[in-house]
Structure 1
Amino acid sequence: MPKAIYLLLLFLFLSCAAFAQQSISVLHSRLRAESESAKINTYLEISKIYAADQPDSAVHYCNQAMKLAEGLSDRNSQGLLLIELGRINILHHHEELARRFINEALFIFRNLHQSEGITLAYDQLGLLDGQQKNISAAIEDFGRSMEFYRDSHDSLGILETYNGLGKVYEEKGDIEKALTYYLRILVQYEHRKLKPEAYFILLDRIGHLYLKKGDSHTALKYLEEGIRNSNTSSERDTQITMLNEEGKIYEQDGQKAHALAYYKQALSEAKKFNQPEEQAQALINIAGILKKGNSTQSLNDLKRALKIADSLRQPRLEATIYAALAGVYQQEKDYKEAMVALEENHRLLDSLLNADTTKEIAAIDSSYALESSREKIGNLQQVTKKEKKELDMSLAILIAILALLVLAYLYLIKIRRLNKELKAANQVKDVLFSVIGHDLKGPAGSAAQLFALMETEEFTEAELKSMISDLRKQTEASFELLQTLFEWGSAQLQGIKVQPKTLNAKSIISKNIHLLSRQAEMKNIIVSNHVPERTEIMGDLNHFDFIIRNLISNAIKFTYETGRIDLDAQKANGEVIFSVKDTGIGMGPDQQKLFLKSNLQVSYGTKGEKGSGLGLSLIKEFLEANNGRIWLESTPGKGTTFYFSFPAAKQ
């Protein structure tokens, strides 16, 4: 009998979840047509739905509403949102942060002389004190709320306070007192034709308490009442869920034929009304019934359910199916498949655990960020209030206060600038360590190993020559990478400083072709400079020199032996467009898109030459600083042409 009760509890939870999903969809569609002030309440409603299961989303929507409320100077809404943030943190046991939010809300409502808001704040403080086992403080908080609700004849408020007191005594372990308050609320709900969502949650709580008392018969009565009343719902997915749950009850009682009939009816209804998740759940239940009598059909049903879960992208459902598959395979002594299914089940559960942890951390971070921001705003508001009182005292005090405000403003600007610089420096540090760890560590380690071999082993002259050639390649690659790292790091930390002047592009390109001629000769690559003699541009010499050198070097790396590289330039619309064309390996559409969006990742040339991608990143930054641009055309296997532009020099 207790197992059946737990299944009924699960049904109530699933019904509430289905209702919540539909409500969220309606609320999101409402947002599109609402005014700014109306959106605040809608965001608050969405946050309340997400509060229990998705705290990060709940905090996000509260933050969205808070921005609107602050923009409209709506202090009442700010207070309500702070109470909701407190409630979210109470649900997830972040008591200290919850108390700070609620106390700030209480401060706002007291300043507004808003009795209803004050009462809501005391309700939440009562729940918080109860959660922290401070029962006397909780009862005092709820007592203050009750006074207001009775004076204002607010029956819903009284029910809310009863609910809070019930939770407090439940936390204390006083089941009888908790039931007293819960049953008082239930009497009020029973007279209504349309039962609110709180009614089903209340039946759930009462059922749990009777189970704790060991009175499973009474617990089942309250839970069945919830199912009976929910039967009037027009929501199709709720009816399908109920069929599945009724099947589970029959299955627990050993009436497998009845259970199978309910599961099949649930599957039929789910197919008819296009409810894929309910189809998957019905198939899992059917497979469980058939497991011992028809394992082949059981496996087929589970595989069908797995396809549905995969299409829905529901890892929790997939994990359940893999666990069921493992059970059937183990029964059939197919331990290899059973192990595969169990491993997949564990992988999915681990990913879900990580996702839930990430949501909790994101919610705490968002809450702390908002609370810190509001604390600063609150401090500034107190300072402003004090200044207003002191305005009448003297003009000298006014000037002093203004001076202090200016200094504070300048200080904040300085702090923001320093934080921005620190963040940029950290990013540079991360990239430098990443490149050093991945790209310099390998060549250095390989070189050390080669030196060790040369020191301890006997080699022929040809073998030594080959090793020395490998060492040269590794040291050249490391030197080139270090040089690029130095220039990139300097640009990131010190900023890109442009010293524009008129440059003769032809001569700079010729110089770099000469510098890189040895690399080209080693691969028998012909590099041709077709840039017209009097091609003059306006730009920074060092930047243009770096861009040309890196593009030619990259072209040599990715061009096959005996290939060719052609450089050209054309003047058009006040700029000079340069091209570096090679006959190398080329790039596919995905690589080209990646280059346009960010930077190319680490890749290897036609003879194993390694690139970090930092050169192209720095080229982009230099071109942007010099009012230029870069793009490319490429065909895999046929080569790549890089185009870049510089402003033409004025004649």
Structure 2
Amino acid sequence: MFKIRSFVFLFLLATGTAAAQQSVYNLHTRLKNESDSQKINTYLEIGKLYAADQPDSAVHYCNLAMRLAEKLNDRHSEGVLLLELGRINIRHHHEELARRFINEALSIFRNLREPEGIAQAYDELGLVDGQQQNINAATKEMDRAMKFYVDSHDSEGVMNTYNGLGKVFEEKGDTEKALTYYLRTLVQYEHRKQKPEAYFILLDRIGHIYLKKGDRKMALKYLEEGIRESNIPSERDTQINLITEEGKIYEQEGQKTKALAYYKQALAEAKKYNKPEEQAQALISIAGVLKKENSGQSLNDLKSALKIANGLNEPRLEAAIYAALADVYRQEKDYKEAIAALEENHRLLDSLLGADTTKDISAIDSSYALESSREKIGNLQQVSKEEKKELDLSLVILGMAVVALVLFFLYLRKVKRLNKELKAANQVKDTLFSVIGHDLKGPAGSAAQLFALMETEDFTEEELKLIISDLRKQTEASFELLQTLFEWGRAQLQGIKVQPETLDTKSIVNKNINLLARQAALKNISVVDHVPAGAGIIGDLNHFDFIVRNLLSNAIKFTYENGTIELSAEKKDAGKVVFMVKDTGTGISAEQQQQFLTSDLQVSYGTKGEKGSGLGLNLIKEFIVANNGSIWLESEQGKGTTFYFSFPAA
């Protein structure tokens, strides 16, 4: 039964990824013509598409939506987004973080007096308790949700709660209770003419519970019901999945002829409706049945499946095929080929494990960052009411900065002790200490002096507002530098990992222009976007976003008041897209230009004394090289600078 579940997981992941990519592209296209309030829902939809296998991206898009919701003071949307962030963390087993998001959503919905939102929050809290095996608490939370749904005659909510209770008891291992709740959910669906995807997933769950109970007849009954109900084009993926799974059951029972017939039916359906992932999965299943009687045909089927998987760039699917190939080669005593196939299988699985771990860590970091940000906003709102709380919060923030510096110091000492012989590690250490010692000392010292004045002097309310504004600027500058410092240090110590994908550069450029609009407005700088729609590239989303944001920020920093900044892109014959960021600023001397091309730029100052550490440009160079691009510049002192960089064209 474990093999069946693993197969279904790989199958759904492979088919879901391609569909999700197409949907994400369509949603990004839709964003171009939407208002801020409409973009909130679109970002949320994109986050839901990424939730299963790319939690870091899911959290990122929810964060974008959250910023817009806060900007518009849309408390309902904030609650919905917090609920979705909770669901993402539940899915990836970060229960405590999920609980914090859901409780905050619950608080918002209570203040807004929205019963539906309250019920949904109780549902999700029940799932958190269920994952932590706290069954009594889980059932209490879901009973509360059920009461709201029943009172409001919300049949959809009732179904979700029954389904959630089924999951809770299935997690616990109580198959009888789980089956009871799943069957109650199923009854609700039977009255509907159009069955949603959740209905077919439910049939799959019921079928597997009957398999656990050893009742294969009932398991087949529910799988066949899913096949009958899904016999419509929009549910074709689901039907092929259910057909294949039914074949797996017959294969386990030793009825190979029936199993082979179902697999061939799934293959025919996949070919008919042009579903390459499903074709590969069906070929794997057919090869498994034939390997004893016709190993040659089995190998041919697996090689055909591998060719399809290579074209789709699906490493999970490739890993499964190599495992099956190794099994057939071992049966034929061709141990050389068997070992080669197993080594490739292990390589692919190791790469997937590393990628999944990185995404998971990134999602946790993003979730914690959002949660911390929301806590700070709440505290700052209280600060505006009470002067003492304002001082306490500022001291806490300063204390956090000191702790961060101490942690960096301890970490770098450890790196130095363990890697004295590595020149690169020493250079990282020297650079980090230089930036911390010089660039952070000033803002921290200024903040301390302002705190001392606030303690000893009596200020008017207007004077206090000016001091608080100055403190905020000092804190933001230090935080921005720490972020860049962290990214650069991690890249130096761990290497730069690229996750290439097709990017819509126009939307990324627009996002960063909007992000830095206030900074440009303070100097009355015009930012002109000449980047054409459709200038697609292949690259890492986070890297390209960082490059555009930092080059634009630098251009604003070094451009005189009332100046102009232009951004453009042009596709070249060599399969590259060349981007340009041009300013009318201070310019860069010939000596500094040569220094940029051969090594690293040092600390410099903007037209209003804005200070830069030089780390941003260093990291930009490394990101561009890692993405198979190049960077160069043209500049004349007093007349401005133009940065050019290239990425592979989509």
What's the TM-score bracket when you normalise by the shorter of the two chains? 0.5 to 0.7
Q: Distance in 2 between matches of 1:149 and 1:307?
A: 50
- 1:243–1:263 Cα contact (<8 Å) kept: yes
Shift of 1:84: 0.9
Q: Distance in 1 between matches of 2:147 and 2:59?
A: 31
Shift of 1:313: 0.6
Which amino acid is the alignment partner of residue 105 of structure 1? A
Which amino acid is the alignment partner of residue 417 of structure 1? A
**What does 1:230-629 correspond to in 2, within 5 Å?**
230-384=230-384, 400-421=460-481, 598=621
- 1:11–1:245 Cα contact (<8 Å) kept: no
Compute the RMSD of aligned alpha carbons.
4.6
- 1:159–1:185 Cα contact (<8 Å) kept: yes
Question: CA deviation digits over 1:284-320, x for unaligned, max 9?
Answer: 3333344334433333332222222111111111111
Q: Distance in 2 between matches of 1:267 and 1:284?
A: 10
Shift of 1:627: 5.2
Which amino acid is the alignment partner of residue 307 of structure 1? K
Which amino acid is the alignment partner of residue 201 of structure 1? I
Shift of 1:353: 0.8
Which amino acid is the alignment partner of residue 332 of structure 2? E
User: SS at the partner of 1:187?
Assistant: helix
Residue of structure 2 equivalent to 1:141: 141
Q: Distance in 1 between matches of 2:487 and 2:111?
A: 45
Shift of 1:364: 0.7
- 1:5–1:220 Cα contact (<8 Å) kept: no
User: SS at the partner of 1:150?
Assistant: helix
Shift of 1:16: 8.6
Q: Distance in 1 between matches of 2:472 and 2:334?
A: 67
Unaligned runs of at least 5 residues, structure 1: 388-396, 435-497, 499-538, 555-594, 603-615, 633-651
Residue of structure 2 equivalent to 1:154: 154
- 1:4–1:248 Cα contact (<8 Å) kept: no
Shift of 1:325: 1.9
User: SS at the partner of 2:194?
Assistant: coil
Superposition TM-score, scaled by structure 1 size: 0.60
Shift of 1:432: 10
User: SS at the partner of 1:292?
Assistant: coil
Q: Distance in 2 between matches of 1:164 and 1:30?
A: 33
Shift of 1:132: 2.6
Alpha carbons of structure 1 residues 206 and 257: separation in structure 2 relative to 1, 3 Å: closer
Alpha carbons of structure 1 residues 15 and 201: separation in structure 2 relative to 1, 3 Å: farther
Q: Distance in 2 between matches of 1:113 and 1:95?
A: 26
Shift of 1:71: 2.5
Q: Distance in 2 between matches of 1:317 and 1:7?
A: 11
Shift of 1:356: 1.0
Shift of 1:69: 1.5
Alpha carbons of structure 1 residues 63 and 334: separation in structure 2 relative to 1, 3 Å: same
- Name the stretch that deviates more: 279-288 or 231-240: 231-240
Q: Distance in 2 between matches of 1:377 and 1:402?
A: 21
Residue of structure 1 equivalent to 2:581: none
User: SS at the partner of 2:129?
Assistant: helix
Shift of 1:157: 2.2
- Name the stretch that deviates more: 73-82 or 168-177: 168-177
Q: Distance in 2 between matches of 1:433 and 1:341?
A: 33
Shift of 1:255: 4.3
Which amino acid is the alignment partner of residue 207 of structure 1? G
Which protein has the larger Cα radius of gyration, Structure 1 or Structure 2? 1
Residue of structure 2 equivalent to 1:510: none
Are 1:183 and 2:195 an aligned pair? no
Alpha carbons of structure 1 residues 322 and 599: separation in structure 2 relative to 1, 3 Å: closer
Q: Distance in 1 between matches of 2:315 and 2:330?
A: 22
Residue of structure 1 equivalent to 2:41: 41
Alpha carbons of structure 1 residues 93 and 259: separation in structure 2 relative to 1, 3 Å: closer
Shift of 1:399: 6.4
Q: Distance in 2 between matches of 1:242 and 1:627?
A: 67
Shift of 1:349: 0.7
- 1:316–1:348 Cα contact (<8 Å) kept: yes
Q: Distance in 1 between matches of 2:204 and 2:19?
A: 17
Residue of structure 2 equivalent to 1:485: none
Q: Distance in 1 between matches of 2:637 and 2:16?
A: 53
Alpha carbons of structure 1 residues 238 and 338: separation in structure 2 relative to 1, 3 Å: same
Q: Distance in 1 between matches of 2:594 and 2:362?
A: 45
Alpha carbons of structure 1 residues 39 and 598: separation in structure 2 relative to 1, 3 Å: closer
Q: Distance in 1 between matches of 2:290 and 2:211?
A: 31
- Name the stretch that deviates more: 125-134 or 263-272: 263-272
Unaligned runs of at least 5 residues, structure 2: 388-456, 495-557, 559-585, 600-617, 645-650
Q: Distance in 2 between matches of 1:431 and 1:4?
A: 39
Shift of 1:360: 0.7
Superposition TM-score, scaled by structure 2 size: 0.60
Question: CA deviation digits over 1:142-191, x for unaligned, max 9?
Answer: 33323322322222223333333333444444444433333222221112
Residue of structure 2 equivalent to 1:505: none
Q: Distance in 1 between matches of 2:29 and 2:357?
A: 30
**What does 1:56-135 correspond to in 2, within 5 Å?**
56-135=56-135
Which amino acid is the alignment partner of residue 413 of structure 1? K
Shift of 1:62: 1.2
- How many residues align structurally? 462
Which amino acid is the alignment partner of residue 285 of structure 1? S
Which amino acid is the alignment partner of residue 47 of structure 2? S
**What does 1:163-178 correspond to in 2, within 5 Å?**
163-178=163-178
Question: CA deviation digits over 1:581-606, x for unaligned, max 9?
Answer: xxxxxxxxxxxxxx9x949999xxxx
Shift of 1:240: 4.2
- 1:323–1:345 Cα contact (<8 Å) kept: yes
Which amino acid is the alignment partner of residue 226 of structure 2? G
Are 1:223 and 2:223 an aligned pair? yes
Which amino acid is the alignment partner of residue 338 of structure 1? A
Question: CA deviation digits over 1:461-509, x for unaligned, max 9?
Answer: xxxxxxxxxxxxxxxxxxxxxxxxxxxxxxxxxxxxx9xxxxxxxxxxx
Q: Percent identity?
A: 64
User: SS at the partner of 2:292?
Assistant: coil
Which amino acid is the alignment partner of residue 67 of structure 1? R
Alpha carbons of structure 1 residues 364 and 11: separation in structure 2 relative to 1, 3 Å: closer
Q: Distance in 2 between matches of 1:76 and 1:373?
A: 19
